[in-house]
Amino acid sequence: MSQMSLEKRFGQSAVFVASTLMENGGVPQSATPETLLKEAIHVISCGYEDKSEWGQEIGWIYGSVTEDILTGFKMHARGWRSIYCMPKLAAFKGSAPINLSDRLNQVLRWALGS
């Protein structure tokens, strides 16, 4: 498989693509912690899967206001497993509306599909 077709399938992370070619997964031994951190940040970015096939292949759902629920349900139906992770320190804070007016505005946007 050519490098270009691998990137189309798995995205443009050289470390991620290399890990898909390893027999038991993992990361290349030559990868430094700094490189791995940089690649992890790259792979988790919102636009990483654009112009790649892997999101659809593993079951991501696109074009729905409830894609998170549908994706989770579809992935579990295909045999994937997940865990509930609750770290001692909260990873994300302040991403929800804090008053009723903002909350109602958010619900309205979701209902209208935007």
Residues 4 and 43 occupy one common structural domain: yes
**Within 13 Å of residue 69, how many CA atoms lie on the same side as its CB?**
3
Among 33, 51, 69, residue at a domain's last position: 51
Domain with 79 in it: 56-114
Residues 62 and 113 in one domain: yes
Distance CA 14, CA 10 (A): 10
Q: Which of 36, 51, 66 is the last residue of a domain?
A: 51
In the DSSP assignment, the letter for residue 13 is -
Residues 46 and 70 in one domain: no
- 112 in the same domain as 62: yes
Which of the four pLDDT bands, split at 50, 70 and 90, describes residue 114? Answer: low
Each residue of 28-60: pLDDT tens digit?
777 788 988 888 888 888 777 777 787 777 667
Q: Per-residue pLDDT tens for 13-35?
A: 877 777 777 776 677 777 788 98
Same domain (yes/no): 60, 113: yes
Torsion sign (Cα): 29, 19, 72, 44: positive
Count of the separate structural domains present in the chain: 2
Instruction: Tell me what pLDDT residue 4 has.
Output: 78
Does one domain contain both 41 and 74?
no
Q: What is the pLDDT of residue 110?
A: 79
Same domain, residue pair 110 and 60: yes
The closest of 23, 15, 62 to 39, measured between CA atoms, is 15
